[in-house]
Amino acid sequence: MSEYVHTSVSNGTGFITLDRPKALNSLSLAMVRDITQALMAWRDDSGVAAVVIRSSSEKAFCAGGDIRFFYDNGRATPQGGSALVEDFFTEEYALNHLIHFYPKPYIALMDGVVMGGGMGVAQGGPDCRVRIVTERTKMAMPEVNIGLFPDVGGSYFLSRAPGCLGSYLGVTGVTIGAADALYAGLADHYVPAADMAALSSLLESTPGAELKDAIAAFAAPFRAAVGESRLAAERTAIDRHFGAASVAAIVDSLKTDDSAFAQKTLQAMATRSPLMMCVTHELVRRGAALDVAECLRLERTLVRHNFEDGEVIEGVRALVIDKDNAPQWKPSSLDAVDEAMVQRFFQPVWPDYAHPLRHLD
């Protein structure tokens, strides 16, 4: 194990603890490999009946992939990539697939920041997942803010959110809290932060085979305390505007709405990569008709195109490296994005037999 991932087994439960607090548990390639190694070892281990993944810090469960790593290595060649970047995304997406189909209860304590790659290691399949949020949860798929798109299976789980919520969350990259996560089907249980210590004791003391039911019983009294969902309150407007056929049409629709929601949404979208908002809109649309493996293979193709295009390199530069918050998006406006630019991202990079995720099913 790397210094940032700790594993242990107690009472029939395997525990994975992310411990990179200064980077909000941003995932490195070594961390992806450590998590994968643990899950593969426990998958067929009769002594492990459930898995818990958590953070050592209350500030963040996981803020995503290590974008400084993407920047440094993505600039390594004229094609905008390196072997390490290629390995990272291939292995991260394979891990997301492993988690989705994990045969044992997979419990994610989504306390604090949960974004991007953090969503990928929390959004297990419906048969195994137990996703717990608190009032500290700050959840987002914010990739359009750095010139990327919602990956790590985002095309699958966003496209299956109720109504047009997935398109809204992906295209805008907005951050939501616990009530919204529950409403959107991106979390299962709410536990107040003050009760997380008691929950941790429950996880440690309950046999792994009984953990899923024990968590549901523990969390049940708190459901009413989660508060009202903003997404629920704005659902009619979200479905009306984000059901439009293109991002340009979404913006035109929002401009006809003088509500605070519409104006705030327009302001957020004005700062995002115009090209990647359009790519995201198309990706979520396509994802609705694909299975998990197909979504991850498609996203892997888009990643290669994205780094060759360079939009993500510029986004990370502006947000993290130079911190000028003034990315020079190409194109710089939504009007300049044409359909050919978007569809280019969906063109195959490899023949099917050579795709790096060809073995996923």
Distance separating alpha carbons of residues 84 and 64, to the nearest angstrom: 17
Q: Which of 64, 80, 117, 118 is catalytic?
A: 117
Q: Which of 92, 111, 151, 309 is catalytic?
A: 151
Active site includes 177? no
Distance separating alpha carbons of residues 188 and 232, to the nearest angstrom: 16
Which distant-in-sequence residues (6+ apart) come within 8 Å of 322 by Cβ?
none
Q: Which of 143, 180, 188, 314 is catalytic?
A: 143
HEC per residue, the chain? CCCCEEEEEECCEEEEEECCHHHCCCECHHHHHHHHHHHHHHHCCCCCCEEEEEECCCCEEECCECHHHHHHHHCCCCCCCCHHHHHHHHHHHHHHHHHHCCCCCEEEEECCEEECHHHHCCCCCCCCEEEEECCCCEEECCHHHHCCCCCCCHHHHCCCCCCCHHHHHHHHCCCECHHHHHHCCCCCEECCHHHHHHHHHHHHHCCHHHHHHHHHHHHHHHHHHHCCCHHHHCHHHHHHHHCCCCHHHHHHHHHCCCCHHHHHHHHHHCCCCHHHHHHHHHHHHHHCCCCHHHHHHHHHHHHHHHHHHCHHHHHHHHHHHCCCCCCCCCCCCHHHCCHHHHHHCCCCCCCHHHCCCCCCC
Q: Which of 140, 143, 76, 151 is nearest to 311 (CA)?
A: 143
Q: Which of 14, 64, 65, 81 is catalytic?
A: 65
Active site includes 239? no
Burial of 3 (0-12, 13-18, 19+ CB in 10 A): exposed
Active site includes 117? yes
Active site includes 151? yes
Indicate which residues carry an active-site annotation: 65, 117, 143, 151
